[in-house]
Structure 1
Amino acid sequence: MNHFLGKSFLKENDFSAAELNYLIDFAIHLKKLKKNHLPHQYLLGQNIALLFEKPSTRTRSAFTVAANDLGAHPEFLGKQDIQFGTKESVADTAAVLGGMFDGIEFRGFKQETVAKLAEKSGVPVWNGLTDEWHPTQMIADFMTLKESFGKLKGLTLTYIGDGRNNVANSLLVTGAILGVNIHIAAPKKLQPQAEIQKIAAKEAEKSGAQIKITDDLLAAVKNADALYTDVWISMGEKVDVGERIKLLLPFQINKKLLQQTGKAKTIIMHCLPALHDNHTVIGKKLTTQYQLAALEITDEVFNGPQSVVFQEAENRMHAIKAIMAATLGTLFIPDSIFA
């Protein structure tokens, strides 16, 4: 019996707190197996399609290594290989790939695309990121929180920056499901959409999580166990860069802000990539043009002793492995433990 078998992983609120906690704990378990070189080939001989409309270092690497560790064979299909809506419909592509592959990962723009893949392929589909949600990142993030504090319920995570993007949406809803207090610190015009807030509020009523969405940065970071940020301009987003930077610069995570939490062990999180210095083409261009040392987070904090960003990045692979193994693997996960 496998409670998750055949299910797709498209967005967080498709799953209960018990189910998400199981995946987080399973990811921690698989990480221990990996560190001790113990085999765990739950998907031996299966084939996995990796569909990428949007590029990503971490998502592609995590799915590839996870599939290999599980005994599966991953096949990468980039934006030049898939014809969504141009030469072939999403439904037709889903039917074709579902007949050839045992599972499908999708990273791209529209949530409706990944939903259609799941509907028409007949195999588990995993959302590697859409414009609305980033669910595999969430298993890694809350796994990192649990590794850092030994628990989840009752912790406070403050997300700072663009509060309307997929990461902010997913953190708000996932935290609400799991009983983690979520604060979103963002300018009023960049706060989560009402629909997302409504979903989170409904989940928080069940879990007891406290939600705070505000442009008062100091109120948002007070007593935070974790400070989390993301890039200020999402991939493919067309905005006035100078205006966005001016709007969000007061929301930069720096040493002074970290000290305002009032906690000595507040951790620093970022889903990456991060513009914390000028050692990238984009980073150098923006920091030079706007006369800044960094954008959403300073290098001092990003590489400081309280940062867990690279642990968090590694955990993407363990989290994705848990999701793939649970939904496609030969595991015994009885329904009774989720009752």
Structure 2
Amino acid sequence: MTVRHFLSFMDCSSAELRQLIARGIELKALRNRGVLHEPLRNRVLGMIFEKASTRTRLSFEAGMIQLGGQAIFLSSRDTQLGRGEPVPDSARVMSSMLDGVMIRTYAHEMLTTFAAHSQVPVINGLSDDLHPCQLLADMQTFFEHRGDIRGKTVAWIGDGNNMCNSYIEAAEQLDFTLRIACPEGYEPNPRFLERAGDRVQLTRDPREAVAQAHLVSTDVWTSMGQEEETRLRLAAFKPYQVTAELLDGAAPEVLFMHCLPAHRGEEISHTLLDDPRAVVWDEAENRLHAQKALLEFLIKPPLHA
């Protein structure tokens, strides 16, 4: 049987993504009712972190425990990957001992190379190109609050980064319109834009992007690995701060999301996370539930289960 990976939103069909979102909502309800659900008992997830994390580590580790399995945290200092062992060699060895591998890294090529040599599912916990697990949580949050996102309008304000690229893929797969407002020189990867076609619109004006939008999302202006560009980025992105006043131009039922951590006073105004239209805390919690649905979907349960 072919091993399924989740390196991008394109690794699942539209129907499968909707099933994952619905299952995440179900698993959240089970946990809130105190129902024990352990389909992955005796299953082990390896977690390779080349980039620091709060939400990714907590959600995957807690998620595996809640599903009855275990998770092993591996930083660059903990494996021979950090000492130059070829990725294919590490993939062959690790996947012979584990039931799944989650990788949070810089180069997306590291993920695709590892997956090509892995016997078990590989999950993209974040790369410089994409952040599909965050998009699962974002979409679950929208579905919980507003129903299906099909036919809706989403605005992305700020850097055309990995989150923006994943929003482009989500627009393709879940059938919504995406407007991206970013300064010149900070556009998303052209290959994602070309594939999405007229489903995605690019503008320099945040107000134009937000007009009557049902969801507005943003991210930090300086991502990990870009610290030397901070001064230039702060100047370029200053007109792109998301404020309560900017949200006033959106649809009355608009939701605001941010994948966190947030820099108050930079990409968002100081009080925006307290705005009733902001659902960032639900969004953060949903990393746990959406990823539990993903783990349940990808990792085979024990034969006796």
Query: Is the CA contact 2:5–2:11 (under 8 Å) kept in the aligned structure 1?
Result: no
Note if 1:38 corresponds to 2:35: yes
Counterparts of 2:262 and 2:272, CA distance in 1: 12
Counterparts of 2:216 and 2:79, CA distance in 1: 37
Query: Is the CA contact 1:48–1:67 (under 8 Å) kept in the aligned structure 2?
Result: yes
Number of the residue aligned with 2:255: 267
Secondary structure in structure 2 of the residue aligned to 1:219: helix
The equivalences for 1:126-165 within 5 A come to 126-163=123-160, 165=161
Note if 1:110 corresponds to 2:98: no
Note if 1:120 corresponds to 2:117: yes
Number of the residue aligned with 1:223: 212
Query: Is the CA contact 1:140–1:312 (under 8 Å) kept in the aligned structure 2?
Result: yes
Q: Deviations over 1:72-108 (max 9, x none)?
A: 1111001211232733111111111111111111001
Worse-superposed segment, 83-92 or 301-310: 83-92
Q: Deviations over 1:122-159 (max 9, x none)?
A: 00111100000111111101111111111110111101
Counterparts of 2:204 and 2:172, CA distance in 1: 20
Amino acid at match of 2:289: H
Secondary structure in structure 2 of the residue aligned to 1:38: coil
The equivalences for 1:1-339 within 5 A come to 6-84=3-81, 86-163=83-160, 165-201=161-197, 210-261=199-250, 263-276=251-264, 294-330=265-301
Counterparts of 2:155 and 2:231, CA distance in 1: 25
Query: Is the CA contact 1:229–1:296 (under 8 Å) kept in the aligned structure 2?
Result: yes
Specify whether residues 232 and 137 from structure 1 end up closer, same or farther in structure 2 by C-alpha distance, changes over 3 A only. Answer: same
Counterparts of 2:220 and 2:60, CA distance in 1: 22
Secondary structure in structure 1 of the residue aligned to 2:216: strand
Gaps of 5+ in 1: 205-209, 277-293, 332-339
Q: Deviations over 1:30-68 (max 9, x none)?
A: 111111111211111111111100010000000001000
Counterparts of 2:24 and 2:210, CA distance in 1: 28
Specify whether residues 43 and 5 from structure 1 end up closer, same or farther in structure 2 by C-alpha distance, changes over 3 A only. Answer: farther
Counterparts of 1:86 and 1:35, CA distance in 2: 43
Query: Is the CA contact 1:5–1:329 (under 8 Å) kept in the aligned structure 2?
Result: no
Worse-superposed segment, 237-246 or 267-276: 237-246
Counterparts of 2:116 and 2:174, CA distance in 1: 27
TM-score (norm 1): 0.86
Counterparts of 1:275 and 1:242, CA distance in 2: 14
Query: Is the CA contact 2:133–2:291 (under 8 Å) kept in the aligned structure 1?
Result: yes
Amino acid at match of 2:263: L
Counterparts of 1:190 and 1:87, CA distance in 2: 32
Query: Is the CA contact 1:5–1:327 (under 8 Å) kept in the aligned structure 2?
Result: no
Q: Deviations over 1:139-183 (max 9, x none)?
A: 1011111111111101111010002x1000001111221111111
Specify whether residues 29 and 6 from structure 1 end up closer, same or farther in structure 2 by C-alpha distance, changes over 3 A only. Answer: farther
Number of the residue aligned with 1:289: none
Counterparts of 1:147 and 1:244, CA distance in 2: 34
Query: Is the CA contact 1:158–1:183 (under 8 Å) kept in the aligned structure 2?
Result: yes
Gaps of 5+ in 2: none
Deviating above 4 A after TM superposition, structure 1's stretches of 4 or more consecutive aligned residues are: none
Q: Deviations over 1:293-322 (max 9, x none)?
A: x00001221221111001000000111111
Query: Is the CA contact 1:5–1:328 (under 8 Å) kept in the aligned structure 2?
Result: no
Q: Once the 2 structures are TM-superposed, how far is the Cα of residue 264 of structure 1 from its aligned partner?
A: 2.2
Secondary structure in structure 2 of the residue aligned to 1:244: helix
Amino acid at match of 1:265: E
Q: Once the 2 structures are TM-superposed, how far is the Cα of residue 199 of structure 1 from its aligned partner?
A: 2.1
Counterparts of 1:316 and 1:85, CA distance in 2: 27
Worse-superposed segment, 76-85 or 215-224: 76-85
Query: Is the CA contact 2:156–2:181 (under 8 Å) kept in the aligned structure 1?
Result: yes
- The CA RMSD over aligned residues, in Å, is 1.6
Q: Once the 2 structures are TM-superposed, how far is the Cα of residue 120 of structure 1 from its aligned partner?
A: 1.2
Secondary structure in structure 1 of the residue aligned to 2:154: strand
Number of the residue aligned with 1:283: none
Query: Is the CA contact 1:49–1:75 (under 8 Å) kept in the aligned structure 2?
Result: yes
Query: Is the CA contact 1:177–1:200 (under 8 Å) kept in the aligned structure 2?
Result: no
